[in-house]
Structure 1
Amino acid sequence: MTQTLTLKDRDLFWPPADELTEAAERIRARLGDWPPTHAPWRICLTAPDELNGSDLIVIADAQQHGEQMAHWLVRGAGVIEAAEEKATLHLGGEKYRLEGHLAEDWIAALAAFLDCGFDPHDALVLALAWRDGDETSADDAFPTDLSRFPRLAGLPDAPAQAFARCPERLGLYPVLPTAEWVERVVGFGVKTVQLRRKSAEPADELKREIARCVAVGRQYDAQVFINDHWQAALEAGAYGVHLGQEDVHTADLAALASAGVRLGLSTHGFYEILKALHFRPSYIALGAVFPTTTKIMPTEPQGLRRLARYVRLLDGVVPLVAIGGIDLQVLPDVLATGVGSAAVVRAVTEAADPASAVSALQHAFTQ
């Protein structure tokens, strides 16, 4: 049982609710040790007279609170509309629509997962995966059964056919800035790489870079993924593309799937994992595990504890890639979670001897 309970010292609910607080404490005690939350969310069962900036107001019908709801959101509060096996979180200009079971203790579970440091949309996913009495289970009380997790509503249709499979364990996965780097690293014997070229301009140069990557992948029988530039990758006959969460709303996923192009999708938590699964990708990337300077991240680092949770939930469902701040020093700890692949950037591109660095990184996968 956790030794870091912080619920007793916090204003969890408005109005104060002893039974809910007791239930939240009971659930929280079975979820294990997590870093203390930096956002002390308060769950409001009725709207408070004064919003504190970290309020989540629970209502049954948004239409009955239209003007009030707009006021709450402008003031920085979140609103959870929950009724009839549905829960929608309105927060920060986003709308997170979930469909699934609402246990009697779902609000208490929500408070417990918020206290574990999960962002509201991820905590809400976990609260809907919760079942009354889970805290009495003899083993791990944390939700691990994917069939009990909610569905995401309002997403674009997934392609009629699932994306082509890739190896279940992709191993070392360098993410590289140029075709020259791709050719170099594939020549070291690496079987999975990604070209992440930040600019699409000039277009002719981008096409030449992608063509070089496709050619070397075929020459060495390696899986070469192209980041973001899916149209050019499709035209070049690339093995795969890697896209971010926002790209699934604009990319022609049906064209990619029908062409046999593999798809990797980035995720940063439970909600985005469910969104990625909806599109039946070839693999899912989980990150950022550690702080990284290679790109601006939308979320705080996930850490090893969360990574282990994602792996336990998804092992055998879809190939997984850990990404973000991974180097040789932390790679053994990353692999200890059971993840089958780890993406690296600076551990290769900033190494004094890239060939030796690649050899050492690959060796870690055999230990």
Structure 2
Amino acid sequence: MLSTTSFPPVIVCVGGSDPSAHAGLQADIRVGQDLGVHVTTVVSALTAQNSQSVLAVYPVEKEQFDRQWESILADMTPGVVKIGLLPNAELASATAFWLRTIKTDYPACRIVFDPVGVSSTGHRLHSFTSGDPADSTEPMSWLKMLLPLVDWVTPNTHEFEQIVQSVSTIDQPINRLDLVSKFDHLLAQYPELRQSQWVIKGGHAHNEAKEQSNNQTGSSSRHCVDWLFSEMVKVDGLVSPFGFSSKRQENGHSRGTGCSFATALSSFLALGYDEMDSLTLTKSYINHALSLSYQVGKNTGPLATCGWPSKIQYLPDILQINNNQGASNEVFFPEMEPRSLGLYPVVDTPEWIERLLKAGVTTVQLRVKDPNSATLEQDIRKAIALGEHYQAQVFINDYWQKAIEFGAYGVHLGQEDLLTADLDKVANAGLRLGVSTHGYFEIARAGKVHPSYIALGHIFPTQTKDMPSQPQGTTRLQKYANLLSGVYPTVAIGGINSEVFDAVLDTGVDGIAMVTAITRSANPEQIVTDFMRKINASNASNQFRSKG
């Protein structure tokens, strides 16, 4: 769901206070403010710690804990609750009570649980040995209270292994199982945990998805892969686990990475991004923050703030264990001059293509929706011939085999087509490639095939196609354009007409794809002339500013 409010969404962060501000609630506030959400806090413990060690953990009294919850919920509507350090079973039980209350009063609120067990310095942060018989020392006793109430769980590999070990009934050591087997074993013991989405972070250990998947995923000491296990997410028919892989940072300062990851994820969810976009953004944010991390004490320093993710080099590689396409080598397609895109009509007949090329359009796409059309091959051949005659860039939508056969300039593919098309064959034929995307996750996935341009949509509600995603709007479009600027040419598409054309152009995209605004116009040639004049004026202005 996209955020429709003009004020910052509220997230509640539950955790310990770190006086050195390397981790804990201080890091939560720093990350949330950096990403534009309002962070409220419920202090579970006061800690005495610094860059070298955790000296002491002082749990707050339950009455103090509860009053903090009461004060927030009486005044604000939480979008996401992030649970961090819970130092004892009493506060874990109290947290379960408040989560049940929130689930009743604010059913749209999502819960992110980061099961903090040990600090980065190796100090155990929780203790369930209060002496009260009601406080069980069995780790799963408090996990059983919390896990059925949460939507996301974000343990690192060590924390996840501790959780699995606590429910193990098998003879062999857990650490000898691959990650998928560990997760399957956990769900076999507690099937109710299937309702949660698990992100198992790989920063603390080598990633072991499946023994035979190492060549696919590129898992090694040089890469950190965070794996999403979820029965709620399907992407083009593919199911989890999905991997979000990045090169390991050499900086060495990483205090607070776990809590920063969970808080960044909470922030993006609160801002209205879906699961896969939120994870892609979180990974990108942490990668950038790690690259800027710094030493402020005598030992390991904290992550830096880095603002909204806008550096494409920090986007993760997207991996999928059960998909052979994910194992293929990277593909590279011919580059395009960004300014050559401009006005980019998408039409369904060669007659329209000829009419538009005569009007001065230089880039156009043939999109024939019916694969059983009796004139399909004829239409593709004619469209390609028109492009050659007018020296224009004509792209063929979907039909990549026929585009190769008939010598097209380029082909445009959707995300699902990237999994089935022979991309090596398309590239070897010298065709340009355009790829449709609908958010950060799909941009990251498209980046692996190095297309000639990336289409961004849909920006507004469209009349030509039923879309599973929601309209992006110009605010998000501008963020996408900034991310891809100078790396891939960009094309905005979806519901763009005369009323919004200027706003779309101002985002900095290189091309604007239009359909009904042209084809249903009383005077298409005049509309084309007007739009092209605006694009040319914008290009001239941008060129002047760059020289200045």
On whether the aligned pair clears a TM of 0.5, the verdict is: yes
Question: Partners in 2 of 1:352 and 1:53 — Cα distance?
Answer: 56
Return closer, same or farther for 1:68/1:276 CA change in 2, 3 Å cut-off.
farther
Return closer, same or farther for 1:353/1:114 CA change in 2, 3 Å cut-off.
same
Q: CA deviation at 1:190?
A: 0.3
Amino acid at match of 1:232: K
SS in 2 for 1:365: helix
Q: CA deviation at 1:189?
A: 0.9
SS in 2 for 1:291: coil
1:334 matched to 2:455: no
- TM-score normalised according to structure 1 size: 0.87
1:149 matched to 2:149: no
Q: Do the aligned partners of 2:380 and 2:403 also contact (CA within 8 Å) in 1?
A: yes
Amino acid at match of 1:65: L
1:266 to 436, 441, 462: 436
Question: Partners in 1 of 2:25 and 2:474 — Cα distance?
Answer: 29
1:362 matched to 2:532: yes
Return closer, same or farther for 1:156/1:231 CA change in 2, 3 Å cut-off.
same
Q: CA deviation at 1:191?
A: 0.3
Q: CA deviation at 1:18?
A: 5.6
Return closer, same or farther for 1:228/1:67 CA change in 2, 3 Å cut-off.
same
Return closer, same or farther for 1:70/1:341 CA change in 2, 3 Å cut-off.
farther
1:302 matched to 2:423: no
Return closer, same or farther for 1:233/1:107 CA change in 2, 3 Å cut-off.
same
Question: Partners in 2 of 1:124 and 1:113 — Cα distance?
Answer: 8
Percent identity over paired residues: 37
Aligned length: 355
Tell me which moved more, 90-99 or 64-73.
64-73
1:65 matched to 2:196: no
SS in 2 for 1:333: helix
Q: What is the 5 A alignment of 1:98-137?
A: 98-100=244-246, 103-104=257-258, 105-130=260-285, 131=289
1:30 matched to 2:29: no
Q: CA deviation at 1:181?
A: 1.1
| 1:97 aligned residue | 243
- TM-score normalised according to structure 2 size: 0.60
Amino acid at match of 1:80: V
SS in 2 for 1:17: strand
1:17 matched to 2:183: no
Question: Partners in 1 of 2:189 and 2:502 — Cα distance?
Answer: 51
| 1:88 aligned residue | 227
| 1:345 aligned residue | 515
Amino acid at match of 1:328: S
Question: Partners in 1 of 2:336 and 2:16 — Cα distance?
Answer: 51
Return closer, same or farther for 1:48/1:80 CA change in 2, 3 Å cut-off.
farther
Question: Partners in 2 of 1:142 and 1:246 — Cα distance?
Answer: 28
2:367 to 193, 196, 199: 196
Question: Partners in 1 of 2:185 and 2:154 — Cα distance?
Answer: 13
Amino acid at match of 1:344: M
Question: Partners in 2 of 1:159 and 1:186 — Cα distance?
Answer: 37
1:311 to 481, 506, 511: 481
Q: Do the aligned partners of 2:331 and 2:423 also contact (CA within 8 Å) in 1?
A: no
Q: Do the aligned partners of 1:39 and 1:117 also contact (CA within 8 Å) in 2?
A: no
Gaps of 5+ in 2: 18-23, 39-77, 80-106, 116-142, 161-178, 204-223, 249-253, 294-302, 538-548
Question: Partners in 2 of 1:354 and 1:97 — Cα distance?
Answer: 46
Question: Partners in 1 of 2:534 and 2:492 — Cα distance?
Answer: 14
Q: CA deviation at 1:146?
A: 2.0
Question: Partners in 2 of 1:238 and 1:69 — Cα distance?
Answer: 54
Amino acid at match of 1:86: V
Q: Do the aligned partners of 1:158 and 1:278 also contact (CA within 8 Å) in 2?
A: no
SS in 1 for 2:464: coil
* Greater relative CO, 1 or 2 (CA 8 Å, sep 6+): 1
Q: Do the aligned partners of 2:383 and 2:394 also contact (CA within 8 Å) in 1?
A: yes
Question: Partners in 2 of 1:145 and 1:364 — Cα distance?
Answer: 29
Q: Do the aligned partners of 1:163 and 1:257 also contact (CA within 8 Å) in 2?
A: yes
Amino acid at match of 2:370: S
Q: Do the aligned partners of 2:458 and 2:493 also contact (CA within 8 Å) in 1?
A: yes
Question: Partners in 2 of 1:128 and 1:195 — Cα distance?
Answer: 36
Return closer, same or farther for 1:366/1:242 CA change in 2, 3 Å cut-off.
same
Return closer, same or farther for 1:228/1:69 CA change in 2, 3 Å cut-off.
farther
Return closer, same or farther for 1:312/1:259 CA change in 2, 3 Å cut-off.
same
CA RMSD of superposed structures (Å): 2.8
Q: CA deviation at 1:283?
A: 0.6
